[in-house]
Amino acid sequence: MHFSLVEVVIWLVVLVISIDVHEFSHALAATRLGDPTPRYQGRLTLNPKAHLDPVGTMMMIFAAFAGFGIGWGKPVQVNPYQMRGNPRLDMGIVALAGPTSNVLLAILSGIPIRLGLITNPALAQFILIMVLANIGLAVFNLIPLFPLDGYSVFMAVLEYIQARDLLDFWARLSQWGPGLLLLLLMADWFMPVPILSDLMWPPIKLLSSIILGWS
């Protein structure tokens, strides 16, 4: 897949903004729940310098040029035992804050397109990429595998419904999470069966249709 230099720059700017908002939202949620750790570590800010991870940023650059791949920000360190409620439930709320912020950013970005207010092609392209990138980030991060946000969200749900057996099983499975995630990514990139893309496409399509009015 070939991208022009302008498209590469747009993707990089969009990814930096989206990951910055994502990580800030984790920090804000933890702080509001009573944990001062993100504030002490300087993460309660929208300054991208506080949230960019060197390796994750390199992967973002690669993804922008190659048209596929992933990037990530510096994980926000939190202490669930300094929060006011059940540690596992509070961790689920903190984890959910990141993908939720991406969905909200996609909705806000999509409003001018939905209302037909954008006539400049370059601006329309930027906003469209902002919408689609944030939807993709939200859906990807909600996959319930460690170390993604979806793992903590899923664990919080299991805690809430008191599904102890499944909770214990999923906690033990967490040690294999990074490996399973890598296998899924490799299957998407190099194998004829794109398992991860097939799993992610239905919610991405649904959110895109709602936000952009696509049929």
**Full domain range(s) for residue 159:** 5-212
Q: Does residue 23 have an active-site annotation?
A: yes
How many separate domains does the chain show?
A: 1
Amino acid letter for position 47: N
Q: What pLDDT score was predicted for residue 185?
A: 81
Distance of alpha carbon 168 from alpha carbon 212, whole angstroms = 40
- Which of the given ranges, 102-106, 124-128, 175-179, 199-203, has the highest pLDDT on average? 102-106
One of 20, 23, 90, 149 is an active-site residue; which one?
Answer: 23
> In terms of C-beta density within 10 A (0-12 exposed, 13-18 middle, 19 or more buried), how is residue 117 classed?
exposed
- Give the model confidence (pLDDT) of 24-53 as tens digits: 999 999 999 999 999 999 999 999 999 988
Interior/surface letters 172-192, b for 16+ CB within 10 angstroms, e for the rest: eeeeebeeebeebbebbeeee
* Average pLDDT of span 137-152: 94
Q: What does each C-alpha distance from 73 to 114, 181, 206 come to in angstroms?
A: 30, 17, 26
- pLDDT of 66 above 70: no
pLDDT at 144 exceeding the cut of 70: yes
pLDDT at residue number 1: 52
Q: Average pLDDT, stretch 2-18?
A: 82
